[in-house]
Amino acid sequence: MDAGQMNDQGTAGIPEPKTQDDPTGRAWTWEEDGMTVLRTNARTGPGCHDNCGVLLYVKDGVLEKIEGDPENPFNQGRLCPRCLAVKEMLYHKDRLKYPQKRAKEDRGKNTFERISWEEAYDIIEREMRAVIDQYGEEAIWVTQGTGRDINGYGPLMAQYFGTPNYGTGFLSGIACYGPRIFSTALKSGGLFVCDYSQFFPERYDDPRWEASEYILIWGNNPVVANSDGMLGHWIVESMKRGSKLIVMDPTLTWLAGKADVWLQVRPGTDAALALALCDQIIKDDLYDHEFVDCWCYGFAEFAEHVKQYPVSLAAETCGVPEDLIVEAARKIGAAKSCCLQWGVAMDHTSEGFITGMACFDLMALTGNFENPGGMLLSEPCFGMAVTSSPRGDQWEACTPPIPHPERKNHGGYKPLEAMNGISPDALLDSMETGEPYKIRAMWMQTNNPITCMGAAPQRILPALQGMDFNVVVDLFLTPTALACADVLLPAACFAERIGITGHQPYALGAIAQAIEPVGECKSDQRIIYEMGSRFVTDEYKLWDDEHSFYDYLLRKTGFTYDSLKERVWAYPEFEYYKYKTGKLRPDGTPGFATSTGRYNFYCPEMARFGFSPFATYEEPPESPVSAPDLAKDYPLVLTTGARTWGFFHSEHRQSPSMRRIHPDPQFLVHPETAAANGIADGDWCVIENHLGSAKMRAHTTLRIRKDTVSADHAWWFPERDPGDGTLFGVMESNINQLIPMRPGKSGLGASYKSQLCRISKVEE
Ligand SMILES: Nc1nc2c(c(=O)[nH]1)N[C@H]1C(S)=C(S)[C@@H](COP(=O)(O)OP(=O)(O)OC[C@H]3O[C@@H](n4cnc5c(=O)[nH]c(N)nc54)[C@H](O)[C@@H]3O)O[C@H]1N2
Ligand SMILES: Nc1nc2c(c(=O)[nH]1)N[C@H]1C(S)=C(S)[C@@H](COP(=O)(O)OP(=O)(O)OC[C@H]3O[C@@H](n4cnc5c(=O)[nH]c(N)nc54)[C@H](O)[C@@H]3O)O[C@H]1N2
Ligand code: SF4
Ligand SMILES: [Mo]
């Protein structure tokens, strides 16, 4: 089928989409100073979740420079250092440029050999078919890393292979959004995000919008991370228009320094704090009676339940002054509007699934749903379902049905089964034990689990090296690829390929191709459908080029790839208070899209899973409180992976300017704690516990709690010789060796931000 045909089919009978923005006069390309300029959207790799508006300047087929697009409502001209330095990654000498193969017995050695794409596909087809024939489709695990551009497309690759085992690669407890997405679905029927006016193309000037009175920045550092479809700048802009901050963080972040109240919590104790805030607000009768009476389920019992969590208990548990918690509760309770800007720290504790519920209860109690400055539903816009978690029928009928969906390994965790998720923890167990069946082959795309995504890399490395067959698709030769890839495929970067945005619910946009890919790189999407076409019959070969691929995806939106590329962005219509007008529920009746039709303080599904129907607090499994014996040897609380300006997880270690900002692995430690351990600022130290150790430099700072160490994650040293046998030094400064693959009781949540450790100086 050619692209033209698909265009016609794709949009036939679909009405022009209704948009809020007027694209008249919005040029998408022009000539300037002898260069061609393309107005488009980023969606990296090299990595980020976001879709900032960019201007790409191209001369003679080379990307000369990149600027923020001042007209794009999303970022209004701003770019962060990683996008400004994109050329350093794009044109890096170490970019993978050709498909390569390596003999299985050489795993770990730098003996890759260049091959053609055809040969690569032939080998993969042969090896994957052998696994399928002998062990079944489910013996293949298709993994992704975090939500980069490729995010929504990976499930298609799994479908082509016929395996139900698709998901994040070795991310313990799917602890990035998994816990929050599912807990908020059970509580409120969807994921709701803070209102910073981002749903309006006119942004802060739209008369419908009001800045939140209080923004709760909870376990999140948005000015650095710009995480998950928002930009930290939006908070600053909201503050200029009156918003005030309450920050929950063990570290004094830049925003915490500007907060009315900063609660410097002990890592892993956030649920205790959330429940105490709820209790105090009810005691002070500051809750939203109308919202609670009309739109919530189980409030009276909840009010009784939270009496177990008085502020005094939270003060002791979290290690923050009681009067500050009371002050925060009164400010939240009395505020006209308040929103929850929460971060991955909520998921990164063992019972992170419940932490998310407790924080959402606070929002419901104060009626902060669908109001200006409150929490707004975050659904893919124009029904475009290729987002972080593809839903609906996007890939239906694109491949034959998966033969054994029931063989998905959810580890027996009922919540994971209910959310149709894999258990990365159980999958690693199964690689080691063969129970309930062994994974034999891996397809890892945008995933570097030995360096970053996986906890316990000392278990993942031998497990991957023991597989029958591994494919890695990446931009660079990573420690994971060096350790285990049998076939290594080079992916194209942003600017080298077309695409569509989609992580954000506010706007849909296109990613335009500015330059030809380096070497023989191909886009991830193309790799998926070209590879996949080897596994299906002709009726499923729906695309023969990328245009027709994206036109197919856009088939229900009324846009084609080209029409979207030319208007660059499109904002759907928007309204507040959708629960009042029936726009949250599929049946069109007022209320929330939950089992009770209301916001669930009492959560019937949790009762069915065998858990408390109300949010509760539980200590992390290894904390000074829950494991006092262990704490004798490892007295400090360890939180890890706080995001840094220049790196996106394990990426950018090759980028000279990003590396200059942050040359070595480091951990934050209070000067008194450092001194008590004989450590001075800048010393190389060992951070260790009963599971493992990592070497990093001490950065002493008054900004962190005295009982806590905050260590970098995802370090490797791409400047090393790949042939030196150390896998780019990946085990030297790898903090994940101190973290177990151990989810919470629901199968969700992990321990990335709440372990124990001790520190000592490395004697030179
Ligand atoms: N530059 C950059 N940006 C990124 C990424 C990156 O690697 N680099 N990664 C992306 C990804 S995948 C994600 S998930 C997001 C995450 O981005 P964020 O949600 O901002 O997550 P972190 O930076 O890990 O942690 C945020 C804050 O939580 C604090 N914290 C640590 N432990 C706890 C705790 O137990 N409780 C509380 N309340 N606070 C705690 C830390 O001190 C830190 O200030 O960032 C995305 N954006
Ligand atoms: N200790 C600790 N560990 C953590 C965390 C923490 O806070 N602390 N955070 C966790 C979280 S929230 C997450 S989401 C994970 C993230 O884990 P991952 O997303 O697996 O991150 P990376 O290890 O950087 O691996 C991503 C790989 O994708 C490649 N890549 C980038 N862009 C592209 C592209 O367009 N195409 C292809 N094919 N490849 C590309 C990069 O080169 C890199 O090798 O890490 C988790 N690990
Ligand atoms: S948040 Fe930063 S790295 Fe991400 S797209 Fe925007 S400018 Fe680029
Ligand atoms: Mo993440």
Q: Are 698 and 672 in contact (CB under 8 A)?
A: no
CA 22 to each of CA 201, 555, 572: distance values in angstroms, whole numbers, following the listed order: 9, 22, 11
3-state secondary structure 696-724: EEEEECCCECCCEEEECCCCCCCCCCHHH
Rounded-to-integer distance, Cα 238 and Cα 240, Å: 5
193 band by pLDDT with thresholds 50, 70 and 90: very high
Q: Are 358 and 179 in contact (CB under 8 A)?
A: no
Q: How far is the CA of 641 from the centre of ligand 4 (A)?
A: 10
Average pLDDT over residues 714-728: 98
7 band by pLDDT with thresholds 50, 70 and 90: very low
Q: Name the closest-CA residue to atom 38, ligand 2.
A: 474
Going 487 to 493 to 498 to 500, the CA torsion angle's sign is positive
Q: How far is the CA of 50 from the centre of ligand 2 (A)?
A: 14
**Is it the case that residue 5 has pLDDT exceeding 50?**
no
The two beta strands, 469-474 and 684-688, are unpaired
**Is it the case that residue 580 has pLDDT exceeding 80?**
yes
The predicted pLDDT at position 387 comes to: 56
Q: How far is the CA of 420 from the centre of ligand 1 (A)?
A: 26
Q: How far is the CA of 174 from the centre of ligand 2 (A)?
A: 13
The predicted pLDDT at position 595 comes to: 94
389 band by pLDDT with thresholds 50, 70 and 90: low
CA 603 to each of CA 216, 293, 298, 301: distance values in angstroms, whole numbers, following the listed order: 24, 16, 8, 11
* Token output for 136: 């079944």
Dihedral in degrees, nearest 10, Cα atoms 540, 544, 545, 550: -20
Average pLDDT over residues 676-694: 98
In the block, residue with structure tokens 């704090």: 273
Ligand number with the minimum distance to the CA of 228: 1
Instruction: Give CATH 2.40.40.20 domain extents, the chain.
Output: 628-761
**Is it the case that residue 396 has pLDDT exceeding 60?**
yes
The predicted pLDDT at position 733 comes to: 98
The predicted pLDDT at position 395 comes to: 86
Instruction: Give CATH 3.40.50.740 domain extents, the chain.
Output: 100-175+399-493+520-543
Average pLDDT over residues 426-445: 98
Average pLDDT over residues 245-264: 98
Q: What percent of the chain has pLDDT over 90?
A: 90
The two beta strands, 100-101 and 487-490, are antiparallel
Q: How confident is the model over 663-680, as pLDDT tens digits?
A: 999 999 999 999 999 999
Q: Name the closest-CA residue to atom 17, ligand 2.
A: 453
Q: Name the closest-CA residue to atom 8, ligand 1.
A: 648
The predicted pLDDT at position 380 comes to: 83
Q: How far is the CA of 646 from the centre of ligand 1 (A)?
A: 14
Q: How far is the CA of 752 from the centre of ligand 2 (A)?
A: 14
Using a 6 Å CB cutoff, which residues line ligand 1? 49, 146, 176, 218-221, 224-227, 248-251, 253, 265, 267-268, 270, 343-345, 349, 639, 641-644, 647-649, 710, 753-754
Please return the burial class of 341, using the count of CB atoms within 10 Å of its CB with bins 0-12, 13-18 and 19+: buried
**Per-residue DSSP letter, 408:** -
Q: How confident is the model over 365-383, as pLDDT tens digits?
A: 999 999 999 999 998 888 8
Amino acid at 427: L
**Per-residue DSSP letter, 5:** H
Q: Are 489 and 472 in contact (CB under 8 A)?
A: yes
Q: Which atom of ligand 3 is nearest to the CA of 68?
A: 7
Classify domain 628-761 at the CATH class level. mainly beta
Q: How far is the CA of 686 from the centre of ligand 3 (A)?
A: 33
Average pLDDT over residues 335-362: 96
Q: Is the CB of residue 230 below 6 angstroms from any atom belonging to ligand 3?
A: no
| β-bridge mates for residue 694, sequence order | 687
Q: Is the CB of residue 50 below 6 angstroms from any atom belonging to ligand 3?
A: yes
Q: How confident is the model over 647-667, as pLDDT tens digits?
A: 999 999 999 999 999 999 999
Using a 6 Å CB cutoff, which residues line ligand 2? 45-47, 145-146, 148-150, 171, 176, 344, 348, 445-449, 451-453, 473-476, 478, 491, 524, 640-641, 649-651, 713-714, 735-736, 739, 752
Fold of 1-84+494-519+544-590: Phosphorylase Kinase; domain 1 (3.30.200)
Q: How far is the CA of 202 from the centre of ligand 3 (A)?
A: 21
**Is it the case that residue 721 has pLDDT exceeding 80?**
yes
13 band by pLDDT with thresholds 50, 70 and 90: low
Q: Name the closest-CA residue to atom 8, ligand 3.
A: 83
Pocket test for ligand 1, best of 43, 227, 234, 650 (most atoms within 8 A of CB): 227
What is this structure's pTM? 0.97
Q: Which atom of ligand 2 is nearest to the CA of 344?
A: 12
HSE toward the beta carbon, residue 459, CA cutoff 13 A: 26
Measured at the alpha carbon of residue 116, what is the angle toward residues 114 and 118, in degrees to the nearest 5? 145
In this structure, CATH architecture of domain 192-376: 3-Layer(aba) Sandwich (3.40)
Q: How far is the CA of 624 from the centre of ligand 4 (A)?
A: 26
Q: Are 709 and 669 in contact (CB under 8 A)?
A: yes
Q: How far is the CA of 82 from the centre of ligand 3 (A)?
A: 7
14 band by pLDDT with thresholds 50, 70 and 90: confident
In angstroms, what is the C-alpha Rg of the chain?
25
Pocket test for ligand 3, best of 80, 233, 494, 504 (most atoms within 8 A of CB): 80
- In whole numbers, what is the pLDDT of the chain averaged over residues? 95
Q: Is the CB of residue 82 below 6 angstroms from any atom belonging to ligand 3?
A: yes
Q: List Cβ neighbours of 27 (8 Å cut-off, separation of 6 or more).
A: 39
The predicted pLDDT at position 48 comes to: 85
The predicted pLDDT at position 616 comes to: 98
The predicted pLDDT at position 100 comes to: 98
* Token output for 43: 């969606």
* 592 φψ region: left (φ > 0), alpha (ψ -120 to 50), beta (else): beta
100-175+399-493+520-543 has which CATH code?
Answer: 3.40.50.740
Q: How confident is the model over 284-302, as pLDDT tens digits?
A: 999 999 999 999 999 999 9
Lowest mean pLDDT segment, chosen from 36-50, 245-259, 657-671, 708-722:
36-50
* Token output for 156: 């298609």
**Is it the case that residue 697 has pLDDT exceeding 60?**
yes
Tally Cβ neighbours within 10 Å of residue 105: 8
Element (H, E) at 338: strand 338-342
The predicted pLDDT at position 512 comes to: 97
Q: How far is the CA of 344 from the centre of ligand 4 (A)?
A: 7
Q: In 3D, which of 576, 650, 673, 624 has the Cα closest to residue 209?
A: 576
Q: Is the CB of residue 419 below 6 angstroms from any atom belonging to ligand 3?
A: no
4 band by pLDDT with thresholds 50, 70 and 90: very low
Q: Are 48 and 648 in contact (CB under 8 A)?
A: yes
CA 555 to each of CA 111, 393, 558: distance values in angstroms, whole numbers, following the listed order: 44, 12, 7
Q: How far is the CA of 694 from the centre of ligand 2 (A)?
A: 19
Rounded-to-integer distance, Cα 247 and Cα 260, Å: 8
Instruction: Give CATH 3.30.200 domain extents, the chain.
Output: 1-84+494-519+544-590
Rounded-to-integer distance, Cα 20 and Cα 683, Å: 55
In the block, residue with structure tokens 């770019």: 79
Pocket test for ligand 3, best of 54, 56, 82 (most atoms within 8 A of CB): 82
The predicted pLDDT at position 12 comes to: 56
Q: In 3D, which of 527, 517, 511, 721 has the Cα closest to residue 96?
A: 517
* Helix orientation angle between 524-532 and 154-161, rounded to the nearest 10 degrees: 10
Q: How far is the CA of 176 from the centre of ligand 1 (A)?
A: 10
Q: Name the closest-CA residue to atom 34, ligand 2.
A: 45
* Helix orientation angle between 524-532 and 117-135, rounded to the nearest 10 degrees: 60
The predicted pLDDT at position 391 comes to: 54
Q: Is the CB of residue 282 below 6 angstroms from any atom belonging to ligand 3?
A: no
Rounded-to-integer distance, Cα 346 and Cα 627, Å: 21
Q: How far is the CA of 651 from the centre of ligand 1 (A)?
A: 16
Please return the burial class of 635, using the count of CB atoms within 10 Å of its CB with bins 0-12, 13-18 and 19+: middle
Pocket test for ligand 3, best of 56, 72, 75 (most atoms within 8 A of CB): 75
Phi, psi torsion values for 225, nearest 5 degrees: -85, -25
Q: List Cβ neighbours of 567 (8 Å cut-off, separation of 6 or more).
A: 23, 26, 28
The two beta strands, 441-445 and 469-474, are parallel
Q: In 3D, which of 653, 754, 747, 623 has the Cα closest to residue 171?
A: 747
Average pLDDT over residues 199-211: 98
Tally Cβ neighbours within 10 Å of residue 465: 14
3-state secondary structure 476-526: CCCHHHHHHCCEEEEECCCCCCCEECCCCCCCEEEECCCCCCCCCCECHHH
Phi, psi torsion values for 418, nearest 5 degrees: -65, -35
The two beta strands, 35-41 and 296-297, are unpaired
Q: Which atom of ligand 3 is nearest to the CA of 51?
A: 5
HSE toward the beta carbon, residue 73, CA cutoff 13 A: 25
Q: How confident is the model over 135-180, as pLDDT tens digits?
A: 999 999 999 999 888 878 899 999 999 999 999 999 999 999 999 9
Q: Are 749 and 219 in contact (CB under 8 A)?
A: no
**Is it the case that residue 3 has pLDDT exceeding 70?**
no
Higher per-residue confidence, 479 vs 1: 479
Q: How confident is the model over 605-632, as pLDDT tens digits?
A: 999 999 999 999 999 999 999 999 999 9
* Token output for 368: 């902060």
Q: How confident is the model over 452-508, as pLDDT tens digits?
A: 999 999 999 999 999 999 999 999 999 999 999 999 999 999 999 999 987 678 999
Pocket test for ligand 1, best of 80, 172, 221 (most atoms within 8 A of CB): 221
Cα-to-chain-centroid distance, residue 272 = 24
27 band by pLDDT with thresholds 50, 70 and 90: very high
Dihedral in degrees, nearest 10, Cα atoms 729, 731, 736, 740: 160
Average pLDDT over residues 578-585: 97
Cα-to-chain-centroid distance, residue 470 = 24
Q: Which atom of ligand 1 is nearest to the CA of 226?
A: 47
